[in-house]
Structures are given as structure tokens and as C-alpha cells.
Structure 1
Amino acid sequence: MELNILITTAPFGNGHKMVATALKNAFTNKGYYNVSVVDVFTEAHPRITETIKKAYIKSYEFGDAYSLLYYGTEKLVDKKVMDVYRNFGFRKLNQIALEFKPDIIINTFPILASLKIKNSSGENIPVFNIVTDFYVHKLWLSEEIDKFYIATNELQEELRKMNIPIEKTVVTGIPVRDAFEEMENLNNIFKKYRFIKSKKIVLINAGAFGVLKDIKKVCVDLCSHNNIQVAVVCGNNKELKAQLDSLDYRNLKVFGFTEDIHELYKISTCMITKSGGITLSEALAVQLPLIIFKPVPGQEKENALYFEKKGAAFIANNSNEIVNRTLDLICNHTILNAMRKNMKKIYNKSSSEIIVDDVVKNIESL
């Protein structure tokens, strides 16, 4: 059966696009080649979206502001004031749908305009949502959504309490790139990056925009320990990379944006990171213990609290806590092993494949 599959995404962080790409690859691997990934926000209103994107990144520096935005929109989700958001990108999405003729729309970001898109017979096109965090913001929810793919059993119970029928929810985990689940020769990775296998590696993931603060101080403190090697991924933050390169420590390696970040995950002892849903899912895939730095109130905080509750991460609120938590963790094999076991318990393997199989099954039954 041939299917036209439209996957929508957004430019607010790299996570949504990574999920969309992982899903497209999974469809292709199953023989479904008519898959289109569309950044609806950028396609519809590029200038406005760029402004929103900058404000979104900036708001992370002011936790209270982002908290108001995040939880405030939850309170307004049923109000008329949200009609602007519900209609955002509708014209462009409808135009794309008229040309592409999708049999299904899959959202990796809560794009409510997708619910209004109709096929040539005037019927609503089925809409499935892939929730990309370990918490469900109410913008993801609507009785009109045909299916929700979610990260945990706890979320399934939360959605049930919010009157989403259990048959509309599937616990699949959050899709990650296949590379995180593939077996690799770790000796070759150690050689590639010139890391000493007998020493611990602390990975610092600054995120796609390099928003992790106090990295320089953390690097200086950790690099003072000869038994520790530090790898920092700066993402697109060239200024941060230059700043850390200037430290010139022998046991510090600094990277910009890297496609092969999965290799660093696989050889690291633990990772210091922000708590985006995709990053956490990638860590789960390789059972990489986490120190989560000062999560911003909103989805980051909700994600971090879930991981802490499950014994898969520690939360640190300043640079001293980061260093102390990291040193305590890498020196305690019992805690490290316990965290790895806890991560294995909550990880759902082959999420993309499970979602693709379920999507196809649902479309065949419609």
C-alpha cells in the first residue's frame, strides 16, 4: 500500500526536527518513500518565526519568563485568545496538503492547524501526535487527535485522567537516530577521538545553541583531576568553543556541532546536560548517567524531575553542584551501575519502528 505521509515540525530547538528525521528514515526503511517533512512555522511566516525563535532562546536565560509562558499557555488553551495559535500556519499547511495529498499528518510539535486540513473528499485528514517530552503540555491535546505516541506509562495514565481514551495512546518512547541503538566497536571510537580508555570521560552537552551556563568553570574544575577526561559539545556556539579551546588543557576536547555525537555518548562515563526530551532519550538509549543542570521551569523541569524520580539523573543548580555531583558519581561504581539499570528499565527501544508499524496499521483500518 502506498501512503503519502506529511510530518510537521518546528525550529524551536533541534529536537523536533531530529524526531521528524528519525521517523522519516523509519518509514523509508519500511518501504514508504512518499514522506515529506515540513517546518510549518518557518514555511508559513519566516520572519515572525525567526523573531519567536530568538525570543524562545532568550527566555531560557530568564526561567521565570519561560515558566510564565509555558504554564500560562496551559491555562489559556481552551480560551478564544488561543485561536491565533490554532490558525498559525493554516494557509501554508493547507497549500502543502493540496499539492502533496497526505493520507496522514504526524506532528512532532503541537501544530493545531493540522486538525483543520481536509482531503479532496472534504474529510479531515487523520492527525497523529508524537509528544517529544516526558510531560504532556495541554497544547498537544485535543479530542480530534486520532493517536498520541508518548514516552512513558505514567503519561498514559495522565492522559487518561484528562479524558483521552487509552486506545488513543501508545507508549513508544521518543524516537532517536538509529545510530544510538547500533552496536559499535568502542576501541575504535576511543582511538578516533584519542581518549585514554583507562580514564573516565565526562561529556558536557551544551545543546544546539550552547545555552548551558558556567561551562568554563566546570571544565577548569574537572580538568584539575588527572583521572578525568572532559569532552564538550558546543553545538552552534562558536564563541563558547573558542573560549574553551583557549583553556588548552590536555584532558579537554572541545567540539562544535557534530553528527557523530552518539559516539561520544557511548564512551562517556556520565553526561552533564540540559533536559530536553530528545537528549534524555538519546542518553537512555546508551544508558548514560546524567547530571542535569538547572532545568528551566517548564518541560525541562518536568523532564528532569521525572528522571530524578526514576533514579536516572541528578539535578544540579550551580557549577559547584555540577562538579561535586560529577565527582561523586564517577567515583561510585554502585551508583553508576544502578543508574544504568534504571535507565534501561524506562527506555523503549526502536520507538520509530513501533510508531511506523502502528501508523500503517491504523491507516489500513480507517
Structure 2
Amino acid sequence: MAQRDDLMPTTAPSVSASALPASGPRRIAIISASVGAGHDGAAAGLADRLAAHGFLVDRYDFLDLLPARTGRLICDVYHRMLTWAPAGYQRLYAATEHASRPGALWRALFRGAEQPTLRALEPDTCAVVSTYPGASQVLGTLRRRGLLRVPAFTYLTDFSVHALWVAPGIDAHLAVHAVPAAQAHAQGAAAVTVVGPVTGPRFAPATDEQRRAARDRFGLPGQEPLALLVAGSWGVGPVRRAAAEIRETGVAVPVVVCGRNQALADALRGDGIEHAFGWVEDMPGLMHACDVLVQNAGGLTSLEAFAAGLPVLSYRCIPGHGRTNAAALDEAGLAAWIREPADLGPVLAELLHGPRGRAQRAAGLELHRSAPGPVPAIAAGTGPQPAAGAQPVTSRRPARRRPSLAVAGAAATLSLGIAATIACTEAPARLPAVTHYLDGDW
């Protein structure tokens, strides 16, 4: 039988358990990706909890580990697809959602991240955790080749599991709920464990006093029901349409968070949506002020809303993971998925005032209370645990080295291919309407 090239041994350096210290703090590396804010947010929460348990924690951005700066380019292309060509992105996502392995170009690109990943990890690293699927693919390959000799974990940050999340060689896949755990298991993931979510301690149900103070602080109405509409750190999706439709129901006043999309916030105010915010540092406080969360991606903000005791509904979801996450959250009984505009008002009313809202609040809070979080599972795989006590969390950026011509060529080809998809998947008549895509109203 021919030996696969991508499993051939190399002369790369290795990270080995034999380098671990006999005593003292143990070091765990977390590899995330600054694609939106959800993967980094999960990594930050996990890092804080590991540090509180006495681990040294290093954090890396997978985009910095990819060759020839293609990480930033691919992130930008992904952002543009969601903004300008959502139908094209949906087709790409659907075509790869259940693939048995990444395509050849993706494999070449991931191969280019292997050496930078090994060089970045400190010799005394005792485990590596990925909160991003591309990083999981690289770590799984390094484990299979024997170049990474310490445990590698994937923390599944999404409620639905795309095939890229499942990487042969990963020691354990940690899920926030039984629904994504079942999806991961069905795709062949190793050692799938339900560990629950990681959110900040300030995401908790509000008292009446906290609710009043938060509304005053954000300049929000004191008595009316408030629907918090979120669209991720990029502010993508048909946000203006969703905000207008929430207002038209008369059931709740829309309060919109646009992330870093200031143009969207300005456009909403022009539409008469009075409470439109850009980037909000105090999201726990804003959740304290509101009564229900309306979301379109099913990411970290939904988990934070569950912890804050807010009922959640999914509406006008973005393509790809936005829709599959909405379906998974609906299956789990954690968030209603509204597919028809006519259902928006009645479901909002049920969540605000009826038994459906009480049931979802209870389910969301139980999600955070019923599982221990990922730290015990990770700690159990690293050997003897360190003494408890806060340790530093360090963000590290790997040194840049020139990639091989083959890897650089594959990266360029992949980026051009994605860009070509944007150009080809939308009807020409729609492409001039750039302003509508940019403000998320597609």
C-alpha cells in the first residue's frame, strides 16, 4: 500500500512529554483564530479558568501560523463572502459540511502551518487545546506523525459540527452540549465528551436593581420589553431588516449591537432604530438591561445569554454555521428558530411572557450548571495537576519565516479560488448593490 505523503515522517522538531518539569506550574497552549470574536472569546474564557487552576497558559492565533500571511487574507475573503456573496458561502459550506477530509489545497495550506506551530510551542508545554477547526487539523496531523507528543484537545465552540472540526489524531473532542457531541461522534471524532460552555462570571441573571441600573446606564426605556439583536463582531447579516421587523411587531423595542460595523450602526439610526450600538465592552450589563436575545449566528453570545438567563431566538441567520447552529439550538430546546417573519411577533411574545420563555431560561441556566466545563477534562490529560492559584496568560506571536514555494503557491491558489467563487456565485445584477451588502441588509 502506498504511504500517504501527508503522513510521511519529517525532520521537524517535536514537542514531547519528556520535556515537562517534574514540579511547578504546567504549561498549556491554546490555539484560536481571530475570525470574528467567538473563537477568541472561548479561548479567553478557557485560558482564565486554566490559569485559575494553576496552569501557565500561552495563547496563539492560528492566522499567524499560516504561511505567507494567507491567514489574514482568508479571513478577509471569508468576511467579504458573508457580506457580499452569502449565497456563494452557503454553497461552499454545504459542499464541505460532511466531507471525509479537507480538500487538497486546504491540506497544503495546513501543512504550511505545521512547522510554525511546532516552533511556537514552548518545550515544557504539556497539552494543546484548539478552539478553531483549522488548528485542530494541524494538531491532529502532528499527533499522528508523532511530532507532537503531548495531548491535543479540540474544544468545539459551535453548536453544530462542520467536518473540519473533526481531525484524526486529536485525543479528545470537548462539546458544550449533547447535540454537538452527537454530531461530532457521528463524524468519527475521538473521545467525545460533553463538558459544557465557558463564559465570564459576570454573565448571570440580573436582579431588578441591576436591570434598572443597566437600563439607565445605556439610556434605554425603563419599562418596555427590550429585544437585544446581535450580529457578531462583524455585524453581518440582514440586521436592518430584522431590527425593523422586531419594531413592527410592537412586542419589544429593538436594541441592536453592531460590533465593529459602525456603518451599520449609523444606518440603523437613520432607519429610526434609536438604540443602535457599535462595539460594546459591557455586554453582561447590556444583557442585564434586556429581556430576550435575537441572534443570527449561534456563537458565543448565545451561550452568554443562556448564562444571563435570557431566552434566545434565532432569526434571519447568516449562511453556513449560522443556520446549522440555529437548527442545533432548536433541537436542544435552547433557542427557538424563526424561519418565517409572520412567526416573529408571536414567538417573541411567548418568550417574553409565556411558558416557552420560562422553559428556555431554565434550559439555558441548566446548561451552565450541569457540566463542569472543559478544564477538568483537559487537566486529567496532562498528568498531576498543579496547585491552584492564578498564573499568567501570555499571548504569543510566532517568528515569521519564509514559506516554501509549494506552500506559498498553494496558499495563493486557495485564496484566489475563494475570491473567484465570490465573483462567480452571485448574479451580476446583484453585485452593484454593494451598499446593501455592506450594511448587512441582504
Structure-1-length-normalised TM-score: 0.84
Three-state SS of the structure 2 residue aligned to 1:348 is: helix
**1-side partners of 2:167 and 2:335: how far apart?**
32
Counterpart selection for 1:343 from 344, 351, 364: 364
Three-state SS of the structure 1 residue aligned to 2:304 is: helix
Q: How many residues align?
A: 354
Q: Does 1:70 align with 2:90?
A: no
**2-side partners of 1:300 and 1:227: how far apart?**
25
Q: Is the 8 A contact 1:10 1:40 kept in 2?
A: yes
Could you say which residue in structure 1 is the equivalent of 2:129? 106
Q: Is the 8 A contact 1:218 1:323 kept in 2?
A: no
Q: Does 1:254 align with 2:276?
A: yes
Unpaired runs of 5+ residues, structure 2, are 1-23, 386-442
Residues 78-119 of structure 1: CA distance to partner in whole angstroms, max 9, x if unpaired?
66554214314222212212x45421110001212223558x
Unpaired runs of 5+ residues, structure 1, are none
Counterpart selection for 1:132 from 157, 169, 182: 157
**1-side partners of 2:73 and 2:148: how far apart?**
35
Range with greater deviation from structure 2 (103-112 or 307-316): 307-316
**2-side partners of 1:295 and 1:281: how far apart?**
16
Q: Equivalent residues in 2 for 1:205-354 (5 A)?
A: 205-215=230-240, 217-220=241-244, 222-223=246-247, 228-247=252-271, 252-317=274-339, 320-321=341-342, 324-325=345-346, 328-329=349-350, 332-345=353-366, 347-349=367-369, 354=373
Deviation of 1:363 after TM superposition, in Å, equals: 0.9
Name the amino acid aligned to 2:31.
Answer: T
Identity %: 20
Residues 228-273 of structure 1: CA distance to partner in whole angstroms, max 9, x if unpaired?
4331111101111122233556xx3221101211222233221221
**2-side partners of 1:219 and 1:141: how far apart?**
36
Residues 308-363 of structure 1: CA distance to partner in whole angstroms, max 9, x if unpaired?
23443333357x44753565446643332233234344x13497x63222212221
Name the amino acid aligned to 1:13.
Answer: G
Three-state SS of the structure 2 residue aligned to 1:60 is: helix
**CA 1:135–1:226 in structure 2 vs 1: closer, same or farther (change >3 Å)?**
closer
Residues 54-82 of structure 1: CA distance to partner in whole angstroms, max 9, x if unpaired?
22123224444223322333425166554
Residues 213-238 of structure 1: CA distance to partner in whole angstroms, max 9, x if unpaired?
142x5445555688743311111011
Counterpart selection for 2:169 from 144, 147, 159: 144
Structure-2-length-normalised TM-score: 0.71
**1-side partners of 2:271 and 2:318: how far apart?**
28
**2-side partners of 1:277 and 1:323: how far apart?**
21
Q: Is the 8 A contact 1:6 1:102 kept in 2?
A: yes
| Bigger relative contact order, structure 1 or 2 (CA pairs below 8 A, ≥6 apart) | 2
Structure having the higher Rg: 2
Q: Equivalent residues in 2 for 1:37-186 (5 A)?
A: 37-45=59-67, 47-61=69-83, 62-73=85-96, 74-75=98-99, 77=101, 80=104, 82-97=106-121, 99=122, 101-110=124-133, 111=135, 112-117=137-142, 124-164=149-189, 168-181=191-204, 185-186=210-211
